[in-house]
Amino acid sequence: MDLSSINPVLLLASLIAASTPILLAAIGELVVERAGVLNLGVEGMMITGAICGFAIAVNTGSPFAGFVMAALGGAALSLLFAALTQIALANHVASGLALTLFGLGLSSLLGQGYVGIKPPPTPKLDIPLLSDIPILGPVLFSHDLMVYLALALVAAVWGMLKYTRAGLILRAVGENHDAAHALGYKVVRVRVLAIAFGGACAGLGGAYLSLVRVPQWTEGMTAGVGWIALALVVFASWKAGRVLLGAWLFGGVSVLQLNLQAAGVAVPVEYLSMSPYLVTILVLVIMSADKSRAPGSLGRIFHASQ
């Protein structure tokens, strides 16, 4: 075992990159849940985004087109969930599970011709001057565009929820849909938009896995990241800023365990691979005592007659 082979600067830099898929999926789900919808289909939307993005990037040679298509793919799948829960008034939990099961099947169907192919590389944006700063440079300023986009998205969601009228309406719909409806807000429309946004974010997160993190396509490659993103929203008490914190925590754990595997720690690989999931459970245990932060109408079905 050689722990000195782990370079802390590289570790931090890859922590930022490793947290990006979880961050994207979680910030999308945060908006969905703040609108009062519990979409358990994140895993399915992520993996659909992963294959959509991968296929388009491979066929067009442009990772950018891949990311756009991944967002569209994720959003399209999420609209199925929106149709089930908002129009057909189906149970949120069951519909979300259906979305995940369907998404996993669909992705492996779409991905059949893409196993073992390398995607076109996503260019890194080395920000001039800033990326030359020792330590901070490689950690913060030499990533690809998606990393910055994810961070910008967190800031935008935070600002939107806190300072804008649209954010206020979204929160009203999530806290008490009957009151929001009585005030004349279009509950279903707000929720469908939120669901589509969440789907697009999850799709982007999935594509970041298949195009940048791994980068290749394998069946079931998201391996629970979508579910961890769901746990992250609980961990963050439905606050955008804390999602960032949580994503770094999970990014850190997964990067650290990979580094420990590479360094040859005397623990079987399988037990190290369990750690992100065990940490998720641990975090849920610590954070779940305070339920008061959950949006009031989370997971409840809205119909104007009631």
Partner 1 sequence: MRLRLEKRPQPARHWIYLSPVLAVLVTMLAGGALFAALGKNPVAAISTIFWEPLFGEFAFYYRPQLLVKGAPLVLIAIGLALGFRAGIWNIGAEGQYIVGALTGAGVALAFYPLDAWFLFGLMILAGALGGLAWGMIPALLKLRFGTNEILVSLMLVYVAEQLLAAMALGPMRNPEGMGFPGSRNLQNYPAAHNAELIAGSGMHWGVVAALIAVIFAHILLGRHILGYQIRLTGQAPRAARFAGVNPARLILFCLGTSGALAGMAGLFEVSGPAGQVSIDFNVGYGFTAIIVAFLGRLHPLGILAAGLLMALTYIGGEIAQSELGLPAAAIQVFQGMLLFFLLAVDVLTNYRLRLLSRAPDPSRSL
String of DSSP letters for 74-133: HHHHHHHHHIIIIIS---HHHHHHHHHHHHHHHHHHHTGGGBTPPPPPPPB---TTGGGS
Q: Minimal distance in Å, beta carbon 97 to partner 1?
A: 6
Q: Which is nearer to partner 1, 10 or 94 (CB)?
A: 94
Q: Does 91 sit near partner 1 (CB under 8 A)? A: yes
Strand partners of residue 124: 144
Q: Does 305 sit near partner 1 (CB under 8 A)? A: yes
Q: Check if the beta carbon of residue 88 is closer than 8 Å to that of residue 68.
A: no
Kindly give, in sequence order, each residue whose CB lies less than 8 Å from that of residue 160, ignoring residues fewer than 6 positions away. 166, 167, 170
Q: Minimal distance in Å, beta carbon 32 to partner 1?
A: 15
Q: Does 106 sit near partner 1 (CB under 8 A)? A: yes
Rounded to an integer, what distance in angstroms lies between the CA atom of residue 185 and that of residue 36? 14
Strand partners of residue 144: 124
Q: Does 268 sit near partner 1 (CB under 8 A)? A: yes
Q: Minimal distance in Å, beta carbon 279 to partner 1?
A: 9
Q: Minimal distance in Å, beta carbon 196 to partner 1?
A: 17
Candidate segments 65-73, 134-142, 167-175, 297-305, binder of partner 1 by CB under 8 A: 297-305
Q: Minimal distance in Å, beta carbon 303 to partner 1?
A: 7
Residue 260 structure tokens:
């420990």
Q: Does 266 sit near partner 1 (CB under 8 A)? A: no
Q: Minimal distance in Å, beta carbon 293 to partner 1?
A: 12
- Size, binding site for partner 1 by CB under 8 A: 48
Q: Does 112 sit near partner 1 (CB under 8 A)? A: yes
Q: Does 288 sit near partner 1 (CB under 8 A)? A: yes
Strand partners of residue 217: 115
Q: Does 306 sit near partner 1 (CB under 8 A)? A: yes
Q: Check if the beta carbon of residue 204 is closer than 8 Å to that of residue 50.
A: no
Q: Is 238 left (phi over 0), alpha (psi -120 to 50) or beta?
A: left
Q: How far is CA 113 from the centre of its chain?
A: 26
Sites of contact with partner 1 (CB under 8 A): 40, 80, 83-84, 88-91, 93-95, 97-98, 101-106, 108-109, 112, 223-224, 227-228, 230-231, 234, 268, 270-271, 273-274, 277-278, 280-281, 284-286, 288-289, 291, 303-306
